Amino acid sequence: MAFRYRSAYFVSELRHAKIKAGVCGLKVQEWRQFVDGEEGKALFSALYGDEIGTQRARYQKLLDEAARCVRHVVPHTVPHTAAADMRLFTAAGRTELGGNHTDHNGGKVLAASVQLDAVAFAFPRSDNKIEFHSTGFPCVQIDISELSPQNAERGKPEALLRGVAAGVAKQGGRIGGFCAVADNTVFAGSGLSSSAALEVLVAKVFDGLYGYVSHECPKNEPLTPLCLAQIAQKAENAYYGKPSGLMDQAASAHGGAVAIDFADAGNPLIRKIDFDPGRAGYVLCVVNTGGSHAGLTGDYAAIPEEMRRIAAFFGKECLRAVESRTFYAAIDGGGAACGNPKLREACGDRAILRAMHFFAENDRVDAMCAALDSVNASLCKKELRGHFSKFLDYVQESGDSSRELLQNCWAIPESQGINLALVLTRRFAAALSDGVSKTACRVHGGGFAGSIQTYIPAAHFDAYRHSMKTVFGANAVTKLNIRAVGAAELPLLPLIYQRVQHGDKKQRYQR
């Protein structure tokens, strides 16, 4: 949606012409004007809610670094006419709402993108080298002339960059070198998928810089969110060496709340669902318990492996292909056939418990989606709160199942921050003064260390945050807002127009 913008903050004709034409590449100074102007304010409001001032400072700091990169890189590698036409990209962090550890076995999940994100200013190079600057980390430099996995890069960010490049090329996309200056507010260990946001961001950078020439060329259309997610997952699995399902990347790329059915892993069914806990008077947040994920790869890998072991007992590749009634009939040996040993002897008790979690969690995701559909169809506040209360029941059931059956709330007996946070949250809920408010809490993400997810009545959120920070630190609790934008190149013109049109009445726009 193109529009003409008139206000005291009148932008330069050149920058306005670029934005009107849908060209997102701007010079550093033009980006500074955008960030400080009304367009930037509208964009930040749409992406980050009330964090406009914080995000302006964040983006201006990135532009400082981008300016240094332009001065250093452009004279040597980029034709002067293309110099400093910076592009801006984002990929959202995600929160898992239901379906803990089900995606890797063809299960169902409910997830949503959040306001925490990875962003990057980027411009192309004339060679095949990538120079990736990320706040707080050393610069990563690789040459993507070679796209095969490199053993020396396994477990390092270089592997993700190379793996994403290889995935884009395999999809038929064009790749080349670029310089990027990035920042990631999806903090590591939060269960909000900082790595997935980074992978999807890099895929979007390739797509934006090289993926298409014009919107009119049907063979050069931007990669779909699902394609971006699949490229990112493959990079994490095959290049970085971390086993994972597709849920993290899919939620990061799509935006908003999505229900995903992975029965067909190559073509999962994805449905958008409206989700806003604030409508029911609740705050969604995560509590970072401070645990480390270092050395836990084996624990994560054991979960999908044990589920597949159960599936293999029935001659299937993943648990989704096994009927739950067949599984339960086999627990006592009644379902074993053709001389197979009993299920316990073949697979072990923990694998059985984890399979129980999988089957129940799949059904629970359907129930959660139905509850949210009822919330969105509610005609009055009382009805809405009743349906949301049912949704919270399912959230708590999911948390209990992860703790008791999936067993991913701790790996080291001496370090049980997740369990401690869950117990303290329940203790807080039991002591609520009104006696009727309901809370829900569950392990968040992969588990074993890191964060829990909680739903707290808004009236009690400050008290809850205070109670958690006394145990886990001042910045342990992060309030989450669901955002509609997943992976995208910014600015998003319709989003900006919509925000400002319904915002400052003193501004005037003409389509």
509 occurs within a structural domain: yes
User: Distances in Å between the alpha carbon of 472 and those of 250, 291, 294, 439, 468?
Assistant: 30, 10, 19, 19, 6
**Residues across the chain:** 511
Task: Specify if 359 maps to a domain.
Answer: no
What is the C-alpha separation between 134 and 121, in angstroms, rounded? 11
pLDDT at 222: 82
Let me know if residue 243 belongs to a domain: no
Cβ neighbors of 192 (< 8 A, separation 6 or more) are 93, 94, 95, 114, 116, 186, 286, 444, 445, 451
Residue 183 pLDDT greater than 50, yes or no: yes
> Where does the pLDDT of residue 383 fall: very low under 50, low under 70, confident under 90, or very high at 90 and above?
very high
pTM of the model: 0.86
Domain residues for the domain of 2 are 1-85+491-511
Report yes or no on 262 lying in a domain: no
Check whether 1 has a pLDDT greater than 90. Answer: no
- Residue by residue, DSSP assigns 119-151 as EEEEEE-SSSEEEEEETTS--EEEETT--S--G
- CA distance linking residue 362 with residue 320, whole number of Å: 9
Q: Can you tell me the distance from the alpha carbon of 276 to that of 256, in angstroms, rounded to the nearest whole number?
A: 10
Report the share of the chain in percent with pLDDT over 90: 69
pLDDT of residue 496: 53
Summarize pLDDT for 455-464 with one digit per residue, the tens: 999 999 999 9
**Is residue 495 pLDDT above 80, yes or no?**
no
User: What local confidence, expressed as pLDDT, does residue 381 receive?
Assistant: 92
Q: Is residue 7 part of a domain?
A: yes
Q: What is the 3-state secondary structure (H, E, C) of 213-278?
A: CCCCCHHHCCCCHHHHHHHHHHHHHHHHCCCCCCHHHHHHHHCCEEEEECCCCCCCEEEEECCCHH
Residues 89 and 490: beta-carbon distance below 8 Å:
yes
Instruction: Please tell me the distance from the alpha carbon of residue 369 to that of residue 7, in angstroms, as a whole number.
Output: 44
Report whether pLDDT(436) > 80. no
Whether 255 maps to a domain, the answer reads no
Question: Averaging pLDDT over each range in 287-296, 398-407, 494-503, which range is the top one?
Answer: 398-407
Task: Specify the DSSP element, H or E, that contains 90.
Answer: strand 87-98
pLDDT, residue 81, reads: 42
- The verdict on residue 62 lying in a domain is yes
Number of domains in the chain: 1
Distance CA 453, CA 456 (A): 10
Tally of CB atoms within 10 A around 458: 13
Considering the domain boundaries, does residue 78 fall inside one? yes
Q: Return the pLDDT at 189.
A: 57
